[in-house]
Amino acid sequence: MAGADIAVTDARVADLVLEYAMHLGRAGMTDTVVIPVARNGRAEEASLLIGPASQIALTDNDDPAAELIELPDVDEVLAEMQQRLDSLVGRRGHAIVEDGGDAGTTFADFDTFSG
């Protein structure tokens, strides 16, 4: 953030951060999330402040070595962020996109929340 790049090697995490940031922005709220990232050849954590002023851009990873780094606790991070997102938008039982799924379905309902 603030001009920094981080490598999130799990597309599900990246997509969910983006979706959560969008809904926080629409609600005029902020939140801090901690996500696993690949940095300097090892797994680390990054704390992100997201909300109405967030400017997040997702791009393909251009560092093949980062993709080899196994990020810990990805499923737990996804579950926690999904719970926060569901609470924010009033959804219950929303499924997380699994590996091999169509990540585009994560964003299918954005228009229903526009005000």
- Quick: pLDDT tens for 2-20: 567 788 878 899 999 999 9
Helix (H) or strand (E) holding 48, with range, is strand 42-50
pLDDT digits (tens, 9 = 90+) for 17-72: 999 999 999 999 999 999 999 888 889 999 999 988 888 888 877 778 888 888 88
Based on C-alpha coordinates, what's the Rg of the chain? 14
CB of 91 closer than 8 Å to CB of 82: no
Q: Model-level pTM?
A: 0.71
Length of the chain as a residue count: 115
CB of 113 closer than 8 Å to CB of 25: no
